[in-house]
Structure 1
């Protein structure tokens, strides 16, 4: 299992809506993530800055890399774009973090 972490940013006035949309995650989005080997997916918010910390387990890196190419993922990005910092293709601006410590 591969552990992946990244940081993103949600606009401060959109915290509640961001949480609401994830609480109501589309079933087809959940199914697609699981089909691409994603599990143990958590997102944490640092309220002072709007920084999001995302953590997940991925079964296969090559399979996971195909997530962004799915129609449902691209639809989700459009849906989330008003709430957070994004790239021109509506994907969240995301910086992958390098693991420096792990305690099992």
Structure 2
């Protein structure tokens, strides 16, 4: 997972396609999961740096009212082309908010 992290700290909506956009809810989910695993002692503590690298770009996706932007409208499984996923619009979604809250809470520990 860490090997697919974009240089800006986020992950792409199509994880192994650098031409797809970076996406906040997936980034928050990955960041949360990595931090949780580190905090529980399930993975090597060196992975924490990868999760923390995602923190600033995620914070930059949150507006003054607390709305998380740069969230995919939804990525259903089983579509026939990678382009389908690259064309999904970005808009604030409840799961983006929830993933950001989990990530930020775990990062505050």
TM-score (norm 1): 0.28
Larger relative strand fraction: 1
TM-score under structure 2 length normalisation? 0.27
> Comparing both structures, which one devotes a greater share of its residues to helix?
2
